[in-house]
Amino acid sequence: MVDKIEEVVCAAIGDFNGESSESKQLAKDTTTALYGSGAVLDSLDLVNLIVLVEERVRREMNVSVSLADERALSQKNSPFRTVGTLCDYIRTLISESV
């Protein structure tokens, strides 16, 4: 079952695809690689995607999350590896904020 967070992240991917070139299109799937090996995004693309996800989370879930905080950047396994790891990270941040 697709939960709300996955839905919001996929919507943000839709926003991202809308403003990106054909070679940067992302599949709305939890296994899609975002950053690192096997991924098509460069660091600026990742910044853009993160901003779009934060915006969608804020607008649709009424929660402000900072995805690129010190913890995310210092994690051995980056939360930005795949769509799935990104969703997991957002889930953790939201559960900690309530």
Residues that bind another protein (CB under 8 A): 19, 44, 48, 51, 54-55, 58-59, 64
Return the SS3 of 4.
Answer: helix
Least distance in angstroms from the C-beta of 10 to another protein: 19
Least distance in angstroms from the C-beta of 64 to another protein: 5
By beta-carbon proximity to another protein, the closer residue of 88 and 94 is: 94
Least distance in angstroms from the C-beta of 22 to another protein: 18
Angle (CA) 96 74 5, round 5°: 40
Could you tell me the two tokens for 39?
């991924």
Identify whether the C-beta of residue 30 lies closer than 8 Å to the C-beta of residue 85: no
